[in-house]
């Protein structure tokens, strides 16, 4: 995942918040989890 992908997911998260929806990323790969960790947004991941 690159910065464009992360930005797209963050935009989707913000849109969901504005509209009262829940946004998560389900079953992320280890590489995606690492990117989310580095960006400080790991709370968006649904790792269950």
Mean pLDDT of the chain: 87
Spatial contact of 24 and 46, defined as CB atoms under 8 Å apart: yes
| Residues of the domain holding 9 | 3-46
Q: How many domains does the chain have?
A: 1
pTM: 0.73
Identify the pLDDT of residue 8: 92
Structure-token match 């998260």, residue found = 13
Identify the pLDDT of residue 48: 52
């Amino acid at each position: 995942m690159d910065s464009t992908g992360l930005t797209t997911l963050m935009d989707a998260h913000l849109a969901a918040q504005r509209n009262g929806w829940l946004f998560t990323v389900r079953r992320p790969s280890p590489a995606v989890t690492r990117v989310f960790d580095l960006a400080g947004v790991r709370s968006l991941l649904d790792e269950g």
